[in-house]
Structures are given as structure tokens and as C-alpha cells.
Amino acid sequence: AQSVSQHNHHVILSEAASLELGCNYSYGGTVNLFWYVQYPGQHLQLLLKYFSGDPLVKGIKGFEAEFIKSKFSFNLRKPSVQWSDTAEYFCAVNPGAGSYQLTFGKGTKLSVIP
């Protein structure tokens, strides 16, 4: 069965620091990759997604992620975080090619200190 690992449970950063959240998945075939974000008190919402093409994908609010197939990774990055980025971030995968359910990582809580 496929699985998704997020390396950090809780990350604490000061404003303007750079962010990288790790995500690795275990699945040998074609995958679709997602990062979702859950701000305090709000719904899960899509941050960015990768289906095919350029492995460097850009999402909302200045976030980007790079798909490295050889490393089974899809790390999320942001060059300079803001206090408003405080949220929980979830990496998710589905195998594509007719698959539908998402397998999520356990999430990384990001706290940004003003």
C-alpha cells in the first residue's frame, strides 16, 4: 500500500526565514502529488499540485514544490515566510491513471513567530 511521510511534526520559524517541508511517498508508478494547507479554524484547501510536466510547480501565496522522481519526494518551499503562513500543511498522493482516493501524510504544523 502506498504511504506518505512528512518528516517534521512541528516547525517553528521567525518571519522572513526560508521554509522547506519534506514529503516522501512510497509508490513506484505514476503519481499525482498535492500539498494542502489548513489555516486555524478553516477548511483544508489546495496549495499546489503536480500531475505532469515541469517538476517545479508554483502554488498560491508564494509557495512552490519540486517533484524529484528519483527520490520519491515532493518538498514544499517558500523563500520568506510570514506570520499568516502559520497553519498545518499536508502532503497527499494518488496514483493517477484512474485512481481517486488521496493518501495523506500526517501533516506538519508550521508556527511563524512575528
End-to-end CA distance of the chain: 41
Instruction: Output the CA angle 109-110-111, nearest 5 degrees.
Output: 120
- If phi > 0 it is left, if psi is from -120 to 50 it is alpha, else beta; for residue 17 that is beta
Q: Tell me whether residue 106 or residue 113 sits nearer to other proteins (CB atom).
A: 106
Min CB(43)–other proteins separation in Å: 5
Among 41, 44, 29, residue whose Cα is nearest residue 107: 44
| Interface positions, 83-112, toward other proteins (CB under 8 A) | 90, 92, 94, 96-107
Size of the site for other proteins (CB under 8 A): 25
Min CB(63)–other proteins separation in Å: 15
Q: Tell me whether residue 46 or residue 56 sits nearer to other proteins (CB atom).
A: 46
Min CB(75)–other proteins separation in Å: 18
Residues in Cβ contact with 98 at an 8 Å cutoff, skipping those fewer than 6 apart: none
| Interface positions, 21-80, toward other proteins (CB under 8 A) | 32, 34, 36, 42-46, 49, 51
Instruction: Output the CA angle 24-25-28, nearest 5 degrees.
Output: 130
Q: Which residues bind other proteins (CB under 8 A)?
A: 32, 34, 36, 42-46, 49, 51, 90, 92, 94, 96-107
